[in-house]
Structure 1
Amino acid sequence: MKYVWVLAAMAVMPTPAVAQTRCFMDSLGNTSCREAQQDVVIEPTDSLATGPWSWSVAAPTPDDVTIRLTAADAGNTVAVSVGKRFAVELITVPSSGYDWADSDVPDFLVRSGNFSGPTLKNQLQTDSVEGEQWRVMTFIASEPGIGELVLVEGRAWESAVREYRVTITAR
């Protein structure tokens, strides 16, 4: 038997493939349903991560970026080329007031862009801006140098809750 899998507030609920409605569960366990916009049928052997329809959306990083840094690169030393654009791709929850901001940027780095977008495909199919979002910050090394780039995540009215540190070596 085939099922339609509906991603709803961190829970995946199977419903029969013949269903014409999509149901969502809020954090209190209340369920609301509406007409389905698009059903995705996944065979029982398919994985949500590797199946025919991936739930993830890539970070909205510009095509001219030469190096993409992620949360996994925190604490590392990364070599970049002078004059080339690189990006730091992090996830935040702006609907709750959280966002990433510069804390300490070495003098040889120039901020060249700030981009955001959804992390999941179901965020593209609804008007929702809730949940995790990508924050992509791009920089260009204007001259050779070595320094630590520090970004902080938090709410404007509170202290930072997370830090992202990476040492940049520009050549």
Structure 2
Amino acid sequence: MAAGSTNGSSRTLSVLVANKPGVLTHVSGLFSRRGYNIDSLTVGVTENPDISRMTIVVHGDEQVIEQVTKQLNKLIDIIKVVDISHQESVDRELALIKVSAKAKDRSEIIQIVDIFRAKIVDVSSESLIIEVTGSIDKIDALEELMRPFGIKEMVRTGKVALVRGTKLTQFDK
């Protein structure tokens, strides 16, 4: 097991970086060299096309997160690192789940999808593709309910998050 993965809880780091080639490689390499496994990592351009936001979910205690934050801040293309784990924030994940869907099971699958406020985005004679957004727990729960039908394929985006209210993560010190 990777160092840092057994101690502490899941932590969410919001990292603003220069929107340049190679930055993702440097950040993921830092975690790899330190022996820390990244649970999820999402990257996307912000409202400023020169800046991207990485949302990194990693397991670790205060000491691990402090060490990782210090190391990240040493990288030249890092603008700001904020541990938003204990701040009021909004977070979501997206998943696409391709599930076997025999005629006899379709109505039950559709009912479950409706309960989760998910959507069926593709239908074929043998399967359905479900799109679901929400918390990690919500997606995990839908995944578990789809398993008995037979999950053929699945992809998840990883967490994206923003701090609630008027607070701007990138400018706060």
Relative to the length of structure 1, the TM-score reads 0.29
Quick one: higher RCO (CA 8 Å, sep 6+), 1 or 2? 2
| Structure (1/2) with the larger strand percentage | 1
Relative to the length of structure 2, the TM-score reads 0.28
Larger radius of gyration: 1
